[in-house]
Structure 1
Amino acid sequence: MRSAILTTALCALLATLPGTPAQAVMRPGTSAATRPDTLAQVATLPGTIALPNGFRPEGIAIGGRPVAYLGSLANGDIYRADLRTGQGAVVSKGPGTPSVGLKLDSRNRLFVSGGTAGNARVIDVRTGAVLKSYPLATGASFVNDVVLTRDAAWFTDSTNPVLYKLPLGRHGTLPDQAVSVPLTGAIQYTTGNNANGIAPTPDRKSLLIVQSNVGKLFKADPATGVTTEVNLGGESLVNGDGLLLNGRTLYVVQNRLNTVTVIRLTADGSSGQVVNRLTDPRFDVPSTVASFGNRLYLPNARFTTTPAPDTTYTVNAITAPRDH
């Protein structure tokens, strides 16, 4: 109880400091032993983390501990990076096909989008073992990103207008097979990279999907797949990739623009206002974003650089702006 009172008091104090995120002290699911108790502790973490040459990162997932998991487009390897030291190692060998979007749950399970393989897999990050693998699509497909809700994992497909759902049972039990939910309504697939990043709406009743090639954000009904366009007042999210929701703030990574667009959403996600655009000279086509403390972590996918075995890759941290 005393610890809870002190944490609450510290949160209240930080909320009164200019430019300090009120929620930077503790993220849901963190343990007392590993959470960043002060902004000063977070500030000591490395600002740039080097990945193995030739790794080709795309997705990143961070849970309650100062550890990031990254997936390789080259061969599907999963790399574990310590945010405190910058050191890391491959913890799960890939199947030779891409690992794209990633999400980590509270049971140490990593949900992995399989890209051109048209599948998804679930990995135990403690052992590196594949718990289950799911064929999602036949024919041309690109299973791109994944989001976890209270009762399901949802995957986008940038080639086919469909969401793939893994319904989670009691205590998070994995299903035997996935369910396909066709996307209808406002979203219209066309040439190029269509549905990409996915996140929940602030009220957790619907899903948000960014369509990269047309630069629009859509709200999808998870029960029916019917979509409506989110009103952003004419703002473009072209090259929109990974999404991260924090409260009612949505971070949208616009990869080839080397920009993170910050949007303040209504509770139901039907409309939003662009309140900031973040960039950094270290950005080299960042693909997505995850957070720890008051920092945003973005892997440089370097899509404009021809990949080779000696190509260098990094993850860069920037300070999240104060919530609007």
Structure 2
Amino acid sequence: MLRTIRLLCAIVTTLGLAVATGGPAGATSSDRRYPESISLPNGFRPEGIAIGSGPFAYLGSLANGSIYRADLRTGLGSILSEGPGTPSVGMKLDERGRLFVAGGTAGDARVIDTRTGRVLASYRLSTTPAFVNDVVLTRDAAWFTDSTNPVLYKLSLRGGRLPADVVRVPLTGDLVYGTGINANGIAATPDGRGLIIVQSNTGGLFRVDGSGVTSRIDLQGEALPQGDGLLLRGRTLYAVQNRINTVAVLRLNASGTEGRVVQRVTSALFDVPTTVASFGSRLYLPNARFTTPPAPDTTYNAVSIPRP
């Protein structure tokens, strides 16, 4: 009997340690066993990343639009959805397991079921040359940026249902398009009443209301040159500055009209990261390697760093 009691105590202690240290009984992304680097297929050319509540990341290919699903615990993964031969750029995942994908130069968007890899819906957003770059999900819509044309594309999601048509919302006000990459990353304001867009070629950050009127966010003299993907957590905005291998950390007011850069983070792991998603206490970024000529055998990865 005494031996049995000691054995039970040992089992309970082991389970308790597993939970406390993030072991199998309760693993978290802060566990040191989570890899810092996730290898992607050669020639994949990643750009977008999305992570939901589970420990899985979804990454899109600029080369052919395929979607790769990676297990954050092991770094292993495989192609979930074969691409259409056109790019996949920015992506967001909703609570229903639907992945909303910006189609870049194809001027389109599609929605993918992450359980099966099946394309649930496709949308022609522009019939003229375009670069549909990024997407954010709000309470009732998916909003896509276009880096070539001053317009947002809105998919209304009333009751969570996918719409039949897209609404085009022209951008007016302070955001003026010029040469190069214009509107890029997009996020919601902390109060959820507006949107935030970064303009890559000027480094400006702008608030957008539902009618498309833009106003420059006061960053107290700071700018975000090469600004790319955005991630909002509370009032903290993470802004990837791709070619300078930096993540800027900003603190915003509730309405998103003012903010300040409180920190800039870089890492030896970065090789032109484009956007950012989070899981647990870490940030995950795909390395697009824009300064490396792409080839079928070019290696690519996504990396993780502690969340500042």
**If the length of structure 1 is used for normalisation, what is the TM-score?**
0.86
Q: What's 1:19 paired with?
A: none
1:193-228: CA deviation from partner (whole Å, max 9, x where unpaired): 000000000001000000000000000002x10000
1:153 CA displacement: 0.2
Structure 1 runs of 4+ with >6 Å offset: none
Q: In 2, Cα distance between the equivalents of 1:210 and 1:44?
A: 34
Distance 1:124 1:312, change over 3 A: same
Structure with max Cα Rg:
2
Ranges in structure 2 where 5+ consecutive residues have no aligned partner: 1-21
Q: Is the 8 A contact 2:29 2:281 kept in 1?
A: no
Residue 169 of structure 1, CA deviation: 1.7
Partners in 1 of 2:121 and 2:236 — Cα distance? 33
Q: Which residue of 1 aligns with 2:208?
A: 220
SS at structure 2 position matched to 1:131:
strand
Length, aligned pairs only = 286
Q: CA deviation at 1:44?
A: 2.1
Q: Distance in 2 between matches of 1:48 and 1:94?
A: 23
Checking the alignment, whether the CA contact within 8 Å between 1:35 and 1:64 is kept in structure 2 is: no
Distance, in Å, in 2 between the alignment partners of 1:34 and 1:54 is 37
The alignment's TM-score, normalised by the length of structure 2, stands at: 0.91
Aligned 8 A contact 1:264 1:274 in 2: yes
1:288 alignment partner, one of 272, 275, 282: 275
Pairing 1:97-176 to 2, within 5 Å after superposition:
97-170=86-159, 172-176=160-164
2:172 to 179, 184, 197: 184
Distance 2:169 2:26 in 1: 37
- Structure 1 unaligned segments of length 5 or more: list them: 1-24, 26-32
Alignment RMSD, CA only?
Answer: 1.4
Secondary structure at the counterpart of residue 175 of structure 1: coil
Question: Cα deviation per residue 1:86-126 (whole Å; 9 max; x = unaligned)?
Answer: 10000100000000000000111000000000000000011
The structure-2 alpha-carbon separation of the partners of 1:60 and 1:37, relative to structure 1 and needing over 3 Å to count, comes to closer
Identity fraction in percent: 67
Q: CA 1:235/1:87 → structure 2, altered by over 3 Å: closer, same or farther? A: same
Residue 182 of structure 1 deviates from its aligned partner by 0.3
Which residue of structure 1 lines up, in the alignment, with residue 5 of structure 2?
Answer: none
Residue 203 in structure 1 maps to residue 184 in structure 2 = no
1:261 and 2:254 aligned:
no
**3-state secondary structure, aligned to 1:298:** strand
